[in-house]
Chains A and B, each alone.
Chain A
Amino acid sequence: RKEVEQDPGPFNVPEGATVAFNCTYSNSASQSFFWYRQDCRKEPKLLMSVYSSGNEDGRFTAQLNRASQYISLLIRDSKLSDSATYLCVVNKAGSGNTGKLIFGQGTTLQVKP
């Protein structure tokens, strides 16, 4: 089983749609969770952290369910510029805090006019 699993998509949605991505992780000891965005052939960039209480940044909402080891990202009112690959990222748990991040394979979003 992969440490971080995502539905690769692609998700094709019209502008203005609401779209949700899901991610599961295998290590229950993981402590930190993030969503990164990667544009085609570019480097990944941090989109937002994911907190236990859930958090929102404009049109983006992230949720964490520790019991189910599940993370989600909701994008409201999709824009053409949201087209990208979204990476679910989990801090690797282990002895001490190694600080290494494990990246999911990514979910591709294509927003159409």
Chain B
Amino acid sequence: DADVTQTPRNRITKTGKRIMLECSQTKGHDRMYWYRQDPGLGLRLIYYSFDVKDINKGEISDGYSVSRQAQAKFSLSLESAIPNQTALYFCATSDWESASGTGGYTFGSGTRLTVV
């Protein structure tokens, strides 16, 4: 099994629908992140969480919300999806040492979301 699992892998949804992307990890890491990737823009941070009671906005949080249900689970919601949220979404995890020193983020395989 993968260390970081994202579901679903692919999703097509309609404008205005609520959708949740889920992420779970078996790394035992305390830090979890949600990124989106668009061609030419690279990876942009949406939200991050350093532990279960800690939620922080990233650079592009508008239109998104998150929930850290447990240390191992971090979900991303689009309350009312719009077409410009069509992107590849990645969940990532780290601990303090890997994030600060060794750059060791572990990424999930990604969710390809299309909003029509």
Interface residues of A (CB under 8 A from B): 8, 31-34, 36, 41-46, 49, 87, 89, 91, 97, 99-101, 103-106
Main secondary structure of the interface of A (DSSP, over half): loop
Query: At the interface with chain A, which of B61-69, B72-80, B94-102?
Result: B94-102
Looking at the complex, which one of A33, A43, A104 makes contact with B109 (CB distance below 8 Å)? A43
B102→A45 contact, CB < 8 A: no
B94→A43 contact, CB < 8 A: no
Measured between beta carbons, the chain B residues less than 8 angstroms from A100 are 33, 45, 48, 99
Shortest A36–chain B CB gap in Å is 8
Measured between beta carbons, the chain A residues less than 8 angstroms from B104 are 46
A99→B108 contact, CB < 8 A: no
Measured between beta carbons, the chain A residues less than 8 angstroms from B105 are 44, 46, 101
A99→B42 contact, CB < 8 A: no
Interface residues of B (CB under 8 A from A): 31, 33, 35, 40-43, 45, 48, 88, 90, 94, 96, 99-105, 107-110, 112
Looking at the complex, which one of A97, A101, A105 makes contact with B41 (CB distance below 8 Å)? A105
Distance between Cα atoms of A41 and B112 in the complex (Å): 9
Known: A42-B110, A43-B110, A46-B105. A97 touches B100 (CB 8 A): yes
Distance between Cα atoms of A69 and B42 in the complex (Å): 20
Q: Tell me the nearest residue of chain B to A49, going by C-beta.
A: B103
B99→A87 contact, CB < 8 A: no
Measured between beta carbons, the chain A residues less than 8 angstroms from B94 are 99
Shortest B99–chain A CB gap in Å is 3
Looking at the complex, which one of B35, B96, B109, B110 makes contact with A99 (CB distance below 8 Å)? B96
B31→A99 contact, CB < 8 A: yes
Measured between beta carbons, the chain A residues less than 8 angstroms from B48 are 100
